[in-house]
Structure 1
Amino acid sequence: MGDIESVAYFKVAMQGVTLVSLGLSAINMVIMPNVARLYKEGNLEATQILLTKSVRLSCLVSLPIIFILVFFGDFFINILFGSEYLEAYPILVILCIGQAMKLLMGSTGLVLNMTGNEKLALKTVSITVSINVILLTMLIPYYGLVGAAISISLSLFINNFLMGTHVWRITTLTTWLSFKV
């Protein structure tokens, strides 16, 4: 990726983004066995209710963190790491946007795995890793760390969009944020 400073800026941004993913990860750990059980029982209605509630809860927990990081991240970077790390702020904002898109798509990978579609999940991840490598190769030389953040965020969105589409096509379940009752 480049020099040590660039790696340090990216690490600072990634630490902030890690806060965002904690909510979804915790919720996924709780719903995982229930998704598998309900789907195996053929109870799609209860599975859908669980998925809808979980994506809403994930958004309720994580979107405020994203908001704070996007609008006040420079303040927190300055306090926690010092003004010399403020170059991490644009990277943090771009990565937060990617996390927001991931969050809105819900537990796509979990649902594919818990419904017996692990091979499709692996294939999708392999495709998006390849896309990410291509994007990194194309964007970093011109845009540096911002290009890397864009590549990662775009790949994250593509991965979750593809997995969400697979879930819907195979199971008729929707993982993304919905306000339908």
Structure 2
Amino acid sequence: MKFLFNFFNSQQIRNAAVGSLGIKFFSAFFAFVNSILLARILGVEAFGIYVLAFSILILASVLVSLGLPKLMTRFIPKYEVEQNLGAVKGLLIQALKYVLLASGILGVVAFLIYLIGWNSIDNVLGKTLYFGLLLIPILAMTSISAASLRGLRFILLGQFHDTFLRNLLFCIGILVFYYGGMKLSPISAILLYTIAGVISFLVGLVFLHRKLFQKIKTVKAEYYNNLWLKEATPFTIDSGIQELKSKVITYILAVFGSIEAVALFDVASRGAALVAFTLDGLNTAIAPYISKAFESKNMESLQRIVTKTSRIIFVFALPVVIVFVIGGKALLNFLYGNVYEDSYVPLVILCIGQLVNAATGSVGLVLNMTGYQSTYTKVNFVITMANAVLSIPFVIYLDVLGASIIFSSLLVIQNLVLVLFLNKRLNINSTIFTFR
């Protein structure tokens, strides 16, 4: 671990990176445990229904957040450099207004769908979605509070309630529910997750009150609505596309495959996600520092942060891939049961794609934090459309295996395209390799 401390020159970045990795690790650990518990308790079909409903609700919460978390991570460090607390206050107020408005509109639409033809949806899936509607604004507002804290460089507080605490509370809820003799179903699982989300959101409000609200209480809010709308639009599209890109194969498997295939792919995806958990953790930690370095026109510092980050990510990712390739089948049997053994080959394929993702580093984050979010959005859109179109025949003929092949192939292509664009426009190399 000593090399990790020596890898970053800045004490602030070092503390944020190490702490962020710790929180991400335990958050990923509890998310992994939750998936094991749910997969074993619910069974393949019911677990597939839960996964499908949950992915729809998560996508809805991302769309409702309107790209504002990324906007806040981008602009709060900028306003801090300019000592413009009025703009910070105005941005926070507008963000919460937009999220509540979007959530209200979505709630009305969902209610109309319920009145017109909710019964046409699979009964269990429909009820699970209905009872999970409250989760949508809760997750969106939690992401706003977490992004505000991260923008102010309270990285650990921003992650604590948004990832770790919610997964921990959900895990406790599942265990209490199960060992209390109550029957767990997709509906009760979503309700438990919603309760965990509400508690986590309230904890985040306490953090935000202590770190920000008291500072801006007497400050007059300043609004730059035209600028925020202009900058938030690509973030909104990108956030939706990013989430859709990760979930589109789940939807295609549900339509052209089976609910059981959804469950098998989710198990493989969760295993592969452990390969890149360091990428997510460090991205959260370095985002405000990349933004600050870019705003200060300190490209040397920006390159140093990105290079060191990518190499740490790869060092942590490689052993995970080796473990899954060599012992993945035995691990799946031990953790999930032999009914999930068919997830092994898709797991290996997804791990290879994630290893390339780790090797290319924080390329997407750098583009978002340096004003090239529209380019990132366009590439994401093309990849998502290709994912949706190409995965249909692959799923029809190869089922879960075909889904994993398409997902990993397009992930590799996307990262290579973005690396070349970043190097050409900013002369920044985000990979583990040395070239300029």
If asked which structure has higher relative contact order (CA below 8 Å, sep 6+), I would say 1
| 1:87-166 map, 5 Å | 87-166=342-421
Larger radius of gyration: 2
Alignment of 1:21-36 (within 5 A): 21-36=276-291
Give CA deviations for 1:113-160 in whole Å, capped at 9, x if unaligned.
Answer: 011111111111101101111220232222221111011101111221
Q: Give yes or no for contact 2:363–2:430 (8 Å, CA) kept in 1.
A: yes
Structure 2 residue aligned with 1:50: 305
Q: TM-score, normalised by structure 1?
A: 0.94
Q: 1:147 to 1:78 in 2, by over 3 A?
A: same
* Per-residue CA distance 1:49-74 (angstroms, 9 max, x = gap): 11110001111112211111121111
Number of residue pairs the alignment of both structures matches: 180
Which letter does structure 2 place at the counterpart of 1:160?
Answer: N
1:26-69 superposed Cα distances (whole Å, 9 cap, x missing partner): 11111111111112222222211111100011111122111111
Does 2:351 match 1:72? no
Identity, in percent, stands at: 33
Q: Distance in 1 between matches of 2:263 and 2:395?
A: 16
The 4+ residue runs of structure 1 with deviation greater than 4 A are none
Partner of 1:60: 315
* Contact in 1 for aligned 2:346/2:401 (Cα 8 Å): yes
Conserved? CA contact 2:276–2:313, under 8 Å: no
Q: 1:125 is matched by which residue type in structure 2?
A: N
2:285 is aligned with what amino acid?
Answer: V
Q: Which amino acid in structure 2 is aligned with residue 47 of structure 1?
A: L
TM-score for both structures, normalised by structure 2: 0.40
Moved more, 135-144 or 24-33: 135-144
One-letter code of the match for 1:35?
I
Residue 334 of structure 2 aligns with an amino acid whose one-letter code is I
- Secondary structure of 2:430's aligned partner: coil
How many angstroms apart in 2 are the aligned matches of 1:29 and 1:7?
Answer: 29
Q: Give the residue type in structure 1 aligned to 2:344.
A: Y
The answer to whether 1:14 aligns with 2:269 is yes
CA distance in structure 2 between the partners assigned to 1:106 and 1:49 by the alignment:
12
* One-letter amino acid of the structure 1 residue matched with residue 350 of structure 2: L
- Residues 313, 358 of structure 2: 8 Å contact kept: yes
CA shift for structure 1 position 81: 0.7
List gaps (5 residues or longer) in structure 1: none
Q: Which residue of 1 aligns with 2:98?
A: none
Read off the aligned partner of 1:48 and give its amino acid letter. Answer: Q
Structure 1: distance between partners of 2:371 and 2:266: 35
Question: Which SS does the other structure have where 1:20 is aligned?
Answer: coil
AA paired with 2:432? L
Residue 276 of structure 2 aligns with an amino acid whose one-letter code is S
In 1, the alpha carbon distance for the partners of 2:285 and 2:365 equals 11
State which of 324, 336, 341 in structure 2 corresponds to 1:86.
341
Aligned CA RMSD, in angstroms, stands at: 1.3
In structure 2, runs of 5+ residues without a counterpart are 1-252
- Whole-Å Cα distance in 2 between the matches of residues 141 and 4 of structure 1? 14
Question: What SS class does the counterpart of residue 42 from structure 1 fall into?
Answer: coil
**How far does residue 179 in structure 1 lie from its aligned partner after superposition?**
5.1
